[in-house]
């Protein structure tokens, strides 16, 4: 049965892939997005990739411009379209920026989530609110793979506000009977990423022949997740009855060092040069996440290894350079 799904931040990296998957399932995506870029416009590929994200599907999506911090506008859009479910992605998306722009992080992550929850409380047609958290809430991993019950000790503003958002979602759920699902992604990468995450920086610099910087020799371990797998996990969790009032790690489920990332890149792009520098002591020590709960309850099964995902990502970026869309 076709449903209407409101995706806050739906024009973003993950949101656009979710839109494609929803359309494949004959659902109607309603994108609510402020259409802003979070890094300098002189360095951003946002406008270029925004078009790429919605090639061939733009006419199958309802677009509404707005900020989730503007509660009256969120209410207007929800009242107008009466979505069956809400996937709440909108937030300042970059951990490092949250530390330097903490007020914006707090307002976009927390106030945006509270506004969505309060409106969901006041209407009777929303079946589920899906909240996007982060693996950064765990802080330094005490064991790997880290399951959903791993201690939560975030080390930065981003992880702290995401965790506070989780607590609010659960509280609203208990107090007002709002059905929710919480998702914790990790190190998402792939075509059309524009926010200068390490994967984007490494791929583009490698293609341009620039030297790649490995902090502490690239010993930092991340659970790199190809964006299509992330989107698939979101969609499965959004519709599964098994996901009601549950929390899921939605990742590849495999820890890989940044040095491994670069070594894989070298098999695709020859002659990559690297240098080593001191590392950031405040960055949490991470690793693989346990996705057995998502496998068991959702039937989630990520398709892309880092080798497969990087190959597809590099092919996409190379094609954009050849087309003259990237310089």
pLDDT at 49: 83
Each residue's pLDDT tens digit, 230-241: 999 999 999 999
In a domain, 327, yes or no: no
173 and 244 Cβ atoms separated by less than 8 Å? no
In a domain, 231, yes or no: yes
d(CA 207, CA 88): 34
In a domain, 254, yes or no: yes
In a domain, 154, yes or no: yes
Is the peptide bond between 13 and the residue preceding it cis, with omega within 30 degrees of 0? no
In a domain, 149, yes or no: yes
Q: Which of residues 201 and 229 earns the better pLDDT score?
A: 229
In a domain, 94, yes or no: yes
Helices 198-208 & 306-322 angle (0-180, nearest 10) = 50
Is the pLDDT score of 42 beyond 60? no
Mean pLDDT for the stretch of residues 109-136: 96
Mean pLDDT for the stretch of residues 98-122: 84
67-76, 183-192, 317-326: range with lowest mean pLDDT:
317-326
Each residue's pLDDT tens digit, 134-185: 999 999 999 999 999 999 999 988 899 999 999 999 999 999 999 999 999 9
In a domain, 190, yes or no: yes
pLDDT at 131: 98
Supply 325's token pair.
């869309």
In a domain, 256, yes or no: yes
Is the pLDDT score of 94 beyond 80? no
pLDDT at 165: 96
d(CA 137, CA 246): 16
Calculate the CA 254 to chain-centre distance. 17
In angstroms, the first-to-last Cα distance of the chain is 44
pLDDT at 108: 81
68 and 10 Cβ atoms separated by less than 8 Å? no
Task: Give me the CATH number covering residue 264.
Answer: 3.40.50.720
Domain around 134: 4-322
Is the pLDDT score of 309 beyond 60? yes
pLDDT at 44: 61
Mean pLDDT of the chain, nearest integer: 91
| Confidence category of residue 23, pLDDT binned at 50, 70, 90 | very high
Q: Which of residues 213 and 300 earns the better pLDDT score?
A: 300
Three-state SS across the chain?
A: CCCEEEEECCCCHHHHHHHHHHHHCCCEEEEEECCCCCCCCCCCCHHHHHHHHCCCCHHHCEEEECCCCCHHHHHHHHHHHCCCEEEECCCCCCHHHHHHCHHHHHHHHHHHHHHHHHHHHHCCCCCEEEEECCHHHHCCCCCCCECCCCCCCCCCHHHHHHHHHHHHHHHHHHHHCCCEEEEECCCEECCCCCCCCHHHHHHHHHHHCCCEEEEHHHCCEECCEEHHHHHHHHHHHHHCHHHCCEEEECCCCCCEEHHHHHHHHHHHCCCCCEEEECCCCCCCCCCCECCHHHHHHHCCCCCCCHHHHHHHHHHHHHHHHHCCCCC
Each residue's pLDDT tens digit, 75-88: 999 999 999 999 99
Instruction: Count how many domains the chain has.
Output: 1
Supply 295's token pair.
């496998």
């Amino acid at each position: 049965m076709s449903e209407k799904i409101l995706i806050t931040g739906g024009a973003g990296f993950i949101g656009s892939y979710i839109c494609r998957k929803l359309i494949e399932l004959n659902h109607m995506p309603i994108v609510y997005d402020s259409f802003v870029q979070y890094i300098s416009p002189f360095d951003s590929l946002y406008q270029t990739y925004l078009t790429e994200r919605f090639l061939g599907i733009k006419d199958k999506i309802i677009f509404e411009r707005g900020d989730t911090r503007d509660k009256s506008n969120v209410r207007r859009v929800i009242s107008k379209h009466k979505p069956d479910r809400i996937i709440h992605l909108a937030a300042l998306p970059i951990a490092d920026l949250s530390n330097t722009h903490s007020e914006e992080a707090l307002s976009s992550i927390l106030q945006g989530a509270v506004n969505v929850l309060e409106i969901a409380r006041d209407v009777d047609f929303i079946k589920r609110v899906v909240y996007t958290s982060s693996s950064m809430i765990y802080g330094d991993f005490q064991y790997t793979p880290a399951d959903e019950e791993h201690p939560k000790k975030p080390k930065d503003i981003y992880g702290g506000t995401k965790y506070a958002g989780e607590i609010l979602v659960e509280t609203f759920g208990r107090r007002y009977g709002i059905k929710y699902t919480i998702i914790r992604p990790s190190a998402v990468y792939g075509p059309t990423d524009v926010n200068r995450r390490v994967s984007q920086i490494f791929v583009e610099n490698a293609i341009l022949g620039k030297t790649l910087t490995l902090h502490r020799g690239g010993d930092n371990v991340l659970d790199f997740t190809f964006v299509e797998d992330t989107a698939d996990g979101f969609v499965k969790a959004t519709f599964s009855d098994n996901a009601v009032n549950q929390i899921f790690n939605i990742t590849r489920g495999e820890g890989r060092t940044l040095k491994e990332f670069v070594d894989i890149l070298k098999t695709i792009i020859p002659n990559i040069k690297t240098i080593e520098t001191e590392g950031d002591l405040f960055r949490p020590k991470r690793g693989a996440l346990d996705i057995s709960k998502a496998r068991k309850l959702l039937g989630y099964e990520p398709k892309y290894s880092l080798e497969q995902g990087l190959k597809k990502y590099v092919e996409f970026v190379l094609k954009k350079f050849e087309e003259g869309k990237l310089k």
